[in-house]
A and B are shown apart, each in its own frame.
Chain A
Amino acid sequence: MVISEAKAKSKIKLYLKIMVWLTILTVVEIFVPKLSIGKTSIGWLLVIFASVKAAIVGWYYMHLSYETSWLKWVAVSPLIAAFYAGVLILEAPSRPYSEYYSAPKRVVKKLHHGEGHGDHKKDSHDSEDSDH
């Protein structure tokens, strides 16, 4: 079962090469959102970058390249979620816009001014209760 040191070194060399590629892809990816090619193209480019990087990690670092086709199919089965995501994202804008989405302010105010009035609020709340 034990492999030779030379073999280990050659494997490690490959892993380091892959790391360099992952780093290059990450650095390039950071500048993708700054391109002036339109939102949709940027989105697709980012999806491609992320998928390629994820596939590299799975194939080399998680040793999928050594596994049987059965295990490979098991490993890629969560990709079904991408299809599900696609359907839901295409469907979502057809729903009516909810007011619920745009009401953060009042909670923020409470956070900023609430400290001194904590007790007072509790009192009023209690009296409300006793009224009922």
Chain B
Amino acid sequence: MGHSLAKQEYDEFGKASHGKVGMWFFLVTDALAFSGFLIGYAILRVSNPNWPKPDEVLGIPLSALATFLLICSSVTMVVAQTWGEAGQSKKMAKYLALTAIGGMIFLGIQAYEYVHLAHAVGMTFSDFVSGPPQFASSFYVVTGFHGLHVLSGVIYLWIIFFRTIMGKHDNGRVNHVEICGLFWHFVDLVWILVFTFIYLL
């Protein structure tokens, strides 16, 4: 009776586990937080006739490389999960590590970019030498918020990696890996939007 009740209660989400549904709801709220920042950026930009062309200030090739890197790390994440589903935990651990390393390289690129922008381009958190300070501030708010997500994702990935090594995700028990994957793909998805709206548009 209790079992059938529970089943009925969650029919809306089919076979999706509670954790997975929970992560999706969290991602919805997180997406709205990013939306808030991006809308703020858009409002500042359309209200300001002196807004610079982003591609003349920011380094497109480097951030395009970072975009490619995040896409790659998304692939290694799904590949990790798939090997986990096939019960091959060692391969899963290998690809999880690759994913986390991809995220760490992304953070390295971002750190380099920040230092370069601050010293060579004159873009600090609160100021910008050749344009409105809002351009610099909103850039750092949006990319910084995303960077924090990458950092959280990297920590999350290493935790899942060590759990895998300890044998907690053997025999196709990849629910937690999939939930972690959802977060990681979300970070990739948001970067795709940030790259377009902040760097290219």
Contacts and interface: CB of A to CB of B under 8 A. Distances in A.
A15 to B, nearest CB: 5
B189 A70 contact: no
Nearest to B183: A62
Interface in B48-107: 48-50, 55, 60, 64, 67-68, 71-72, 74-75, 77-79, 82-83, 85-88
B73 to A, nearest CB: 10
A92 B132 contact: no
Given A30-B64, A92-B47, A2 B24 contact: no
Interface string B19-61: 0010011011001100110110011001111100001000010
A45 to B, nearest CB: 10
Interface stretch (A97-105, A113-121, A122-130): A97-105
A53 to B, nearest CB: 5
Contact of B32 (A60, A71, A78): A78
Given A2-B86, A8-B82, A84 B60 contact: no
Contacts of A89: 39, 42-43, 46
A75 B186 CA distance: 11
B14 A68 contact: yes
Nearest to B67: A26
The interface residues of chain A, by DSSP majority, are classed as helix
Contacts of B124: 111
Contact of A33 (B55, B68, B74): B55
A47 B160 CA distance: 34
Interface string A80-113: 0110110011001101011001101001100100
Nearest to A77: B28
A46 B47 contact: no
Contacts, number: 170
A77 B35 CA distance: 12
B60 A68 contact: no
Nearest to B124: A111
A12 B76 CA distance: 9
B172 A26 contact: no
A57 B192 contact: yes
Given A75-B28, A81-B39, A97-B47, A61 B74 contact: yes
B128 interface: yes
Interface of B: 12-14, 16, 21, 24-25, 27-28, 31-32, 35-36, 38-39, 42-43, 46-50, 55, 60, 64, 67-68, 71-72, 74-75, 77-79, 82-83, 85-88, 122, 124, 126-129, 131-134, 171-173, 178, 181-182, 185-186, 188-189, 192-193, 195-197, 200-201
Given A26-B71, A33-B200, A81-B31, 18 more contacts: A2-B85, A8-B85, A26-B68, A29-B200, A46-B201, A49-B196, A50-B197, A54-B189, A54-B192, A67-B14, A67-B16, A70-B14, A85-B39, A89-B39, A92-B43, A95-B47, A107-B133, A108-B127
